Amino acid sequence: MRLPGILTSLIASLCLVGCSSTSGVDALDMGKPSNEITSSVVRPSAPVASASASASASAKAKPMIARGAPEQASMAGPARPFGLAEEETVALASAGMPDSGDASIEPAALVSPPKLLSRAAPSMLAGPVTRYAFRDAKPINFGRSSPRHLAVHGVDVSRWQGDVNWQKLRAQGANFAYIKATDGGDHLDPMFMKNWRGAEAAGLKRGAYHFFYWCRTAGEQADWFIRNVPRMEGALPPVIDVEWNGESTCKHRPSREKVLEKMQVFMDKLERHYGQRPIIYTAPDFYRDNLQGAFLDYPFWLRAVAQHPSKVYPGRKWLFWQYSGSGLSHGVTGRIDLNVFHGDERQWRDWAGGRQTIAAAD
């Protein structure tokens, strides 16, 4: 005779389980990320700790990265770097300009201050400039336009450079370093924080860059970068790396209008957070397709490993020139990207000390 009572209790229990299960699914749906997923790596299985806005807190905080098999699998991927163009792909025609690579190069006056400036404490100003001493596995004769004629050289690094000896890299002539931080909206370079701290300890001015992913929303990517890159006094402005990447499974190539819109959303969000106008890094083919005549009041970092930027990007003002992807240094096993600042030592100190402006085109 107790069977109806038992059945009633069982039915009631099932109803309660069904209700709680439904609410749990709703909660997961409310918090799940966009369907646009960075395909370069597996989504981290653990959250990344938010970076503190203060320098002292940032020094203590260590972002968490994905652990276990997923991260090991991503580290075992192809040796080719993801982000910061590996090879020159196309040159833009420059009317009336010879191809001999002998355009003269002179330190350019820095003009057009951005709306927001970064003010660095005296202790964070650029230290003494270390002279160029890098070698190159594939040296290019730039003639009179050689980057050697400019005073302030630097590097960019990611996990692909492995364990960097920053003291040796500094002694070889690296005065600044741009360090890979993030790409897309879910990948943190596992070497970012170690490189970030190591570069500072060795006396290099350092900044962080983000590889932009065209299959993810700009707002999500900006939030991810902000979540992982400390806002620290004296750091160089953040960089948005925009290029077409044939290695990615995301083959989407938005229209020029959409590209510019997404970039603007991302850069506006970073500028509000860091108080510095972001720098745009790009390569020739992407520039040809999207950026000619655009973002005239933004600083550019241009890749040109076969010719001077004035020939590859005619008329474009630039702040940094990536002139080699095959640099050699005692501080790194293998090759490293080499870059140069468009100005002399005084202009470097002014710019790195917070009076950040955009260099003129040659």
Q: Which residues are catalytic?
A: 243
CA pair distance 126, 348, nearest whole angstrom = 8
Calpha distance 152→150 (Å, rounded): 6
**CA atoms of 352 and 349, how far apart (whole Å):** 5
- Do 331 and 93 form a contact (C-beta atoms < 8 A)? no
**CB-based contact 91:284 (threshold 8 Å):** yes
Residue 52: its H or E element:
none
Residue with the two structure tokens 């989407």: 252
**DSSP 8-state class, residue 290:** I
* Integer CA distances (angstroms), 139 to 8, 104, 298, 309, in order: 83, 19, 30, 16
Please report where in the chains the tokens 């309660």 appear, as a residue. Answer: 16
Q: Which helix (H) or strand (E) holds 57?
A: helix 55-60
Name the DSSP class of 296: T
What CA–CA distance (Å, rounded) separates 250 from 161? 25
Rounded CA-CA distance 280/317 in Å is 11
